[in-house]
Amino acid sequence: MSCKLLFDRDLYTPCHIQVPDSDYRLSGLYVDNQFYSFLKVVPEARKAVDIMLRLGKHDHTVALTQTRRGYAVWGHEPDARYAPPARKPGYGIKPVFGPQPSLLVADENAYQTCRLQVPDVTKPLMALTYNNRYYSFFKQDIDANKILDIAAKLARRGDETLMVIEPAMYTLALLEPNGRLA
């Protein structure tokens, strides 16, 4: 599943949106010409990851922001439209371009570990293959908060990241477009 990690305020525009199945304006985010509606705030990174994985089972794309109370989870709304403030009907929304999406995987059958040779490193790297693409291991930790923070920074600078979610461990891996099996 794909997730936008929007941990810096300048990566998105808060707004209100209208979705086809509701008469009410919903709290939303606008990033990369897409709208996301607010779903829930959770205090812990682990709970946010669990919610994102549950949504991912239904092929939903999500966004994650940080708040004073924890993490806010936002669901992608492909059919939403911008709902300007009632007092300013001509108020527009500026385009904002966010970070690379991060991939989350929890199914251990969806990926395989391997050894990877990359052009700028002499020794083979521990890596994994997912959807016919190679990702080198970057960081493993039991703390979801640390992994999400690092993934958000890497995605912001343009790296494609993959997070493998296991019951007791989080693994962050980086796409190696020029990698080949060692």
Residue 151: give its domain's CATH number.
Answer: 3.30.200
Domain boundary among 82, 114, 133: 82
User: Do residue 168 and residue 117 come from a single domain?
Assistant: yes
Amino acid at 30: Y
- Tell me if 136 is assigned to some domain: yes
* Domain that residue 36 falls in: 2-82
Specify the pTM: 0.90
- Tell me if 114 is assigned to some domain: yes
Dist. CA 22–CA 2, nearest whole Å = 25
Residue range 111-131: mean pLDDT, rounded: 94
pLDDT category, 86, cuts 50, 70, 90? confident
pLDDT given for residue 13 in this prediction: 94
User: Do residue 109 and residue 150 come from a single domain?
Assistant: yes
User: Do residue 74 and residue 13 come from a single domain?
Assistant: yes
Domain boundary among 53, 82, 111: 82
Between helix 45-56 and helix 144-156 the angle, nearest 10°, is: 70
Smallest Cα–Cα separation from 83: which of 11, 130, 18?
18
52: number of Cβ within 10 Å: 26
pLDDT at 91 over 80: no
Structural tokens at position 180: 């080949």
Residue identified by tokens 């779903």 is 39
pLDDT category, 120, cuts 50, 70, 90? confident
pLDDT given for residue 92 in this prediction: 80
pLDDT at 95 over 90: no
Structural element, H or E, at residue 117: strand 111-117
User: Do residue 61 and residue 121 come from a single domain?
Assistant: no
Residue range 65-88: mean pLDDT, rounded: 92
- Tell me if 129 is assigned to some domain: yes
User: Do residue 30 and residue 60 come from a single domain?
Assistant: yes
User: Do residue 129 and residue 158 come from a single domain?
Assistant: yes
Q: Which of 57-71, 83-97, 110-124 is predicted with the least confidence, judged by mean pLDDT?
A: 83-97
The pLDDT tens digits for 33-43 are 999 999 999 99
User: Do residue 106 and residue 172 come from a single domain?
Assistant: yes
**Residue 33 to residues 38, 98, 160: CA-CA distances in angstroms?**
17, 10, 19
User: 105 or 85, which is more confident?
Assistant: 105
pLDDT category, 75, cuts 50, 70, 90? very high
Report how far Cα 170 is from the mean position of its chain's Cα atoms: 15
Dist. CA 105–CA 157, nearest whole Å = 21
- Tell me if 88 is assigned to some domain: no
Give yes or no for a contact between 29 and 12, defined as CB atoms under 8 angstroms apart: yes
User: 91 or 48, which is more confident?
Assistant: 48
Residue 43: exposure state from Cβ atoms within 10 A (0-12, 13-18, ≥19): exposed
Report how far Cα 69 is from the mean position of its chain's Cα atoms: 19
- Tell me if 95 is assigned to some domain: no
